[in-house]
Structure 1
Amino acid sequence: MHDIVNLAVIVAYLVAIAVIGLKLSGRQRSATDYFTGERSLPWWAVMFSIVATETSTLTVISVPGVAYGGSFSYVELAVGYLIGRTLVAFVLMPLYFRGDFVSAYQYLGLRFGRHTQGLASLTFLVTRLLAEGVRLFAGAIPIKLLLTEFGLDVNYFVIVLVITAVTVAYTYVGGMKAVVWTDFLQMGLYVAGAIVCVVVLATQVDGAGWAAAWDAGKFTVFQFDGPILNNPYAFLTAVIGGAVLTMGSHGSDQLIVQRVLSCRSLSDGRKAMIGSALAIMVQFALFSLVGALLWARNGGASVTSLGLSSTDEIFPAFILNELPMGLSGLLVAGILAATMGSLSSALNSLSTSTLADLGRAWLGWRPAEGTMLRVARWMTGAWAVIMVAFASLFTSSKDPVVVLGLAIASYAYGALLGAFLLGLLVRRADGVAAFTAFVTTLVVTLVVALGVSIDGKALAFPWFVVLGVVVTLVVGGLISLVRPRRDPAPTGEPEPAVPA
């Protein structure tokens, strides 16, 4: 009976969110409306959409696991996020609001030409597929555990397929407006679920348990000792590396930039961007608290002694086995909400970048407005199919999925952010310098990621972005010095990316 009620709650959620998404989306009249929500969305809704997009399932199930095995390290990382997003708000965002942009990479097209714009878009498409594949797989973990307890042996592929199909139902029709409003609702659901878990766990942990967790360093935020280059939670790595990482993720990644472009003005966009850093800090603290309380409740038991294979399973196992009937189903629905919120954002941004950066700017395809809107929807569906295939690549990973997801994305953020900074800081840089520096950075980053270790450990993921930015600026700057001087690219109003 317990499992039947939980399944009923999850199914009801899936139906409700699809219906609500369709109701809130309104009617899109053009491709620009489809991609940017008519540039009419309130900043606070966009702020929560940014948070829901970036944290998703990785935060919900993996950050408690990281805290269970470590400490409040992710709150320290959020300090760097606040610094980085403030810089994005005042340095990069004015570039996007200068013209009628729907894609972050249109600036690169205006500054360096269509080849650099196309390369940046292709890089985004590939890395977003990989990173989002991790997130999508992570959302299937608690669903599989629940179905197993119910006596159903359903593989991850089927679960991923169902989640994707429901998400596409409202994203396909509603575009960015449906994405933002459903993100807002879905974030509320999984945050409320985390608060409920904190309350339940707090009643199960006595004073001795709190003291033991404190003495074990579970509530430690800042780590001032230990290695810097291969520890993502060391203070300098978290603050400096985290700041540059979030500049890449929120200043050069179409997934986030597209959210900001749906705001009514640059001022509103800045509020959404900086506010998201504060919100993510609170969220990291909340989910880290869940992990610390789980550690105290279990008396510091190891993952293997609990019959689990990784720290990613600790929180889902608690939800399924320890919460009252119906409530556990609601919490699993909250994890699904995080997954679907991130997935809907990814599908819309992948469609946007494909058409605006590759179709229009790179290939010169300029169809009628009605055709562009129809193709935008078809492309959303096509990327959904590809996303399901990519998610199946991560079913055998043993690493915490939050670390894996951030590492994959960070491999390309250095080249992307470096290209934007090259355009801003090196006036002599042209398309040849930018394109060559971009390719060089991707190769160097990949070599370092696959073949360089420090004391037997890989370079911490926040430093990959720093490395990429440095390589891009150095290579691009040196090439610019030996090439003939020319006037910088025009800084006037760019051509819209889609027919207005």
Structure 2
Amino acid sequence: MAAHWILLVLLLYFGVLMLIGYVTGKQADSYDFFVARRQSPWYVVAFGMIGASLSGVTFISVPGWVGTAAFSYFQMVLGYLAGYAVIAFVLLPLYYRLNLISIYTYLKERIGKHAYKTGAAFFLLSRTVGAAFRLYLVAMVLHVGIFQHWGASFGLTTFISLLLIWLYTARGGIKTIVWTDTLQTIFMLLAVVFTIWFIKDDLGWSWSQMSEHLAQDPRSQVFFWDDWKDKKFFWKQFISGAFIAIVMTGLDQDMMQKNLSCRTLRDAQKNMITFSWILVPVNWLFLTLGLLLYAYAEGHGIGLPAKSDMLYPTLAFNHFPWIAGLFFFVGIIAAAYSSADSALTALTTSFCIDILGFEQIKDKKKQERLRRWVHVGITFLLWLVIMIFHRLNDESVINAIFTAAGYTYGPLLGMYAFGLLTQRRAIDRWVPWVACLAPCITWVIAQNSERWFNGYRFGYELLLINGLLCFVGMWAASRRAGV
């Protein structure tokens, strides 16, 4: 597919997003930007969250991951269901009862100012790294598909990608994103379904023949029960999935900001439960797509790219007919930006409220001016982190995201667990030290686990170790209530 046609599609696509941003951003103020005045329809939020949760990482990395990890990722997806239930029936009632805009305000009320600032800081670190990883993928695809043909650098490609997001989210924030994410989820799912249909027809299979091939392929294995030391072992994946859902959704301002824009707690809970059950078959679709991509490459004698993340883009741009390449391009843009736009808004929200004390500023014009400058600053920060990651990345991006989450979200898990499960009073000034020490000890354990624990290799359950260490540290630096 020619680069100028891809660019035209990109401009048309963002023209639609800009139109939505203009309509929803009319006369929008900071309250609209942060929580859309709590007027978002729950079913719109639920559908849009599919795209925001999956992102470009799922779109590219999960299909490529099938080659080495089979369908083991689905074990984590099943664990997500347990995690989302905790969010719906434990965390959301708490957030609505306290009428929160930033969910980290809970830490201030339960533990103290230092815990509050520490929790917000870890979110800002976590989401900045996660959003940069996700945007790295789409910038890489845009660079290969369009901008490198005109001699543009990867840095310029990334800058243009971020500028487009900034333009349509600058005024409406979450009020805009609730609707743009819905549109982008539709495009993403259409792209996946069309690609599956195209490969099936290209290989000359009926639907039943395709199902038979998938079932016989050893890469379609879902459950791994035999080796408890293996990263793919079921219980390691399932339990890790549950806690990853809790921390990367329930303790994440980005994902919770959409839930908090619903009219009532009941609406937010309906949104979360509906979203979680839709997510299961959608993830199965992506795994199925991955197996079909490998079958297509093998059937046509196409050599596999060095990085599994590039399997889908390589086939779409270089081997699929132009219509299939077009669907891929629209799908990856939709998947990546539905996650990135909300991340940019959530980072802006958290920095304004949690770090700058935005609500204490009474002058509305000063509030708006400050929010806009923070929005610009966060955009530049994401560009900088993406450029650093571009220099360093040497592994599957989805693996990098979950590994990073184990270190950066662990302290949040420990702090919230301490607040919710105990009545003890933490010594607030010690919380930042405990929260920083826990991931450092976790890293040491991970580096030496095979030598210390008879060959055991930690996977994503490092998140649990990290959270437990933070919890224990806070318990040690606490006293009984009333003392």
* Contact residue 76 and residue 238 of structure 2 kept, 8 A: yes
Name which of 175, 182, 185 aligns with 2:183.
185
Distance in 1 separating the partners of 2:480 and 2:22: 54
Residue in 2 that maps onto 1:201: 199
Deviation readout 1:77-134 (Å, 9 max, x if unpaired): 1110000110111111111101221111000011111111001111111221111111
Distance in 1 separating the partners of 2:447 and 2:275: 32
Distance in 2 separating the partners of 1:154 and 1:456: 47
Bigger CA drift: 242-251 or 103-112?
242-251
Equivalent AA in structure 1 for residue 438 of structure 2: T
Distance in 2 separating the partners of 1:25 and 1:333: 24
Residue in 1 that maps onto 2:10: 10
Distance in 2 separating the partners of 1:151 and 1:223: 44
Residue in 2 that maps onto 1:366: 361
* Contact residue 10 and residue 329 of structure 1 kept, 8 A: no
Distance in 2 separating the partners of 1:129 and 1:458: 27
Q: Does 1:169 align with 2:164?
A: no
In the TM superposition, what is the alpha-carbon distance from 1:213 to its structure 2 partner? 4.6
Equivalent AA in structure 2 for residue 128 of structure 1: R
Q: Does 1:472 align with 2:470?
A: yes
* Contact residue 6 and residue 327 of structure 1 kept, 8 A: no
Deviation readout 1:12-60 (Å, 9 max, x if unpaired): 212222222222344323x222100110101122223332222211011
Residue in 2 that maps onto 1:147: 146
- CA change 1:358–1:7 in 2 (3 A) is closer
Residue in 2 that maps onto 1:244: 243
Equivalent AA in structure 1 for residue 161 of structure 2: I
Give TM-score scaled by structure 1 length: 0.88
Bigger CA drift: 314-323 or 187-196?
314-323
Residue in 1 that maps onto 2:223: 222
Name which of 411, 414, 418 aligns with 1:415.
411
Distance in 2 separating the partners of 1:103 and 1:301: 51
Distance in 1 separating the partners of 2:481 and 2:145: 64
- CA change 1:132–1:38 in 2 (3 A) is same
Distance in 1 separating the partners of 2:10 and 2:446: 39
Distance in 2 separating the partners of 1:54 and 1:392: 23
- SS for the counterpart of 1:243 is helix
Distance in 2 separating the partners of 1:477 and 1:300: 58
Distance in 2 separating the partners of 1:62 and 1:300: 21
Equivalent AA in structure 1 for residue 475 of structure 2: G
- CA change 1:457–1:301 in 2 (3 A) is farther
State, as a whole percentage, how many aligned pairs show the same letter.
26
Distance in 1 separating the partners of 2:269 and 2:356: 29
Residue in 2 that maps onto 1:35: 34
* Contact residue 52 and residue 342 of structure 2 kept, 8 A: yes
Distance in 1 separating the partners of 2:456 and 2:142: 33
* Contact residue 452 and residue 459 of structure 1 kept, 8 A: yes
Name which of 425, 432, 437 aligns with 1:440.
437
* Contact residue 128 and residue 409 of structure 1 kept, 8 A: no
Q: How many residues matched?
A: 476
- CA change 1:4–1:373 in 2 (3 A) is closer
Unmatched 5+ stretches in structure 1: 488-500
RMSD, matched Cα: 2.5
* Contact residue 6 and residue 325 of structure 1 kept, 8 A: no
Name which of 391, 400, 405 aligns with 1:404.
400
- SS for the counterpart of 1:306 is coil
In the TM superposition, what is the alpha-carbon distance from 1:216 to its structure 2 partner? 3.2
- SS for the counterpart of 2:13 is helix
Deviation readout 1:146-189 (Å, 9 max, x if unpaired): 237x8434332111111100100011111111112111111111
Equivalent AA in structure 2 for residue 201 of structure 1: I
- SS for the counterpart of 1:298 is helix
- CA change 1:484–1:77 in 2 (3 A) is closer
Equivalent AA in structure 2 for residue 235 of structure 1: F
Bigger CA drift: 10-19 or 206-215?
206-215
Give TM-score scaled by structure 2 length: 0.91
